Amino acid sequence: MSHDFIRARRLPHVSALALAFCLALLLLAALGRVDPAHAQGDDAAGAHVIVQFDDTASIVRTVEFTPSISGLELLTLSGLDVITSATEYGTSICAIQGVGCPAEDCFCQCADGDTCRYWGYFNWDAAGWTAYDVGADASVITQTGAVEGWLWGEFGMAMTPITPTLAAARALAALSLAQQTRGIGSATNAVDTMLAIGANQQRAQAWTTPDGSPLSALMAGVTRYTRAPSISPAAAGKIALATAATDACWPLATRLPMDYYDEAIRAYSEFSGINAWAMLGTLALGEPLPSDAVATLKAAIQADGGWEWMTGFGSDSNTTSLAIQALVGAGEPVTATEVISGLVYLASTQNADGGFSYDANAPDTRLSDTNSTAYAVQALLAAGETVDGPSWQTDAGNTPVDFLLAMQRDDGLFA
């Protein structure tokens, strides 16, 4: 089988497993840059479109317009894949990004009468989300900064607050600005940026500048990125996640994560963290995962319930988060002993500010940091936890989301 043009599969579990590296708030996904075709100039107004697929998964786009626009036009100009149907009451939204119903049966999930899932249409104001009493083709939007919402669900379901989503939008906009002005930089940065782009269901090819996109930067540096023998399986795994997230083709002449599997050690690497990355990459490419790799990762759990990056390092929150994601992605139930033990270990690394530290037992790494908190959030989501719920709210009243919001700088990036 040729590896040159394998196309990564955008799997449902990818965004819930490993898209936390450049942006800390990708639990709600976010905005990259506006397609130049939609921009109208300095006098244009701009509105956000937030699309919420369930309680945790959202994406957001920003569209510039002048002088006014309807909700239907705004959604159409967002660049999202939208299916509509003309009815006697106006235009109905049947599906967004493949979620929903076909045009010929726009309310296909309302047929039995017991439940009815459809695309609800909302506007955000000072009081919160309000459902529109007119259709999207009849609404009129004139205000700069307006926030329009679309929710797939049953009547009465509520959209999540906009603060984390728009914070993530600011962060991705800042990444876009950095790319436009000074470039993304190394292949490592390109991979991280692709993960962030993918969380918002965007393609890396859309982030194009005269100097190249994150995808082209990845192609240019991928050989160096995967050259270090000790971490090559992890690098290949991370590239697999990035290409899957952005619907990209596999880089030429680059080994796939499954190429590193060693039957002699029943793993991709002798080290747990590297093994977990390779497992996640294999899953992202839709390839079968050796059952022995799962068993090896489970057996590597430490006495404190965590996992260590390499032998002798001791448990840390980052590797533990990767292990939880890999196990759940491999089909282990969230009630598995190893998953529960990993969550208990993560709880031991959470601080009063809501954030997570790298190592709960080392004084110099006991402080919360953005990277560790982002990893932990992804693990919690993979395990079906509510990251802003009471289980992860500290006695001081802080959640992981609170910590991440507090770490966002004025320029939109995270400290």
What pLDDT, on a 0 to 100 scale, did the predictor assign at position 187?
Answer: 78
pLDDT tens for residues 43-99?
A: 456 899 999 998 778 899 999 988 899 999 999 999 999 999 998 889 999 999 999
What pLDDT, on a 0 to 100 scale, did the predictor assign at position 251?
Answer: 82
The arithmetic mean of pLDDT across residues 3-18, rounded, is 34
* Count of H-run helices and E-run strands, the chain: 12, 10
The arithmetic mean of pLDDT across residues 252-272, rounded, is 93
d(C-alpha 296, C-alpha 87), whole Å: 56
What pLDDT, on a 0 to 100 scale, did the predictor assign at position 175?
Answer: 86
CATH top class, domain 164-406: mainly alpha
d(C-alpha 227, C-alpha 87), whole Å: 58
pLDDT tens for residues 124-133?
A: 998 899 999 9
What pLDDT, on a 0 to 100 scale, did the predictor assign at position 371?
Answer: 92
d(C-alpha 311, C-alpha 204), whole Å: 35
What pLDDT, on a 0 to 100 scale, did the predictor assign at position 367?
Answer: 92
Looking at CATH, the fold of the domain delimited by 29-159 is given as Ferric Hydroxamate Uptake Protein; Chain A, domain 1 (2.170.130)
Between residues 389 and 40, the one the model is more confident about: 389
pLDDT tens for residues 164-223?
A: 889 988 888 888 888 877 777 777 888 888 888 888 888 887 887 766 777 777 777 777
Q: Residue 248: name the closest of 277, 268, 218, 273 by CA.
A: 218
Instruction: Evaluate if residue 25 carries a pLDDT over 50.
Output: no
Indicate the average pLDDT of the chain.
85
Report whether 124 contacts 147 (CB < 8 A).
Answer: yes
Torsional sign, CA 215, 217, 223, 227? negative
Query: Can you give the residue ranges of every domain in the chain?
Result: 29-159, 164-406
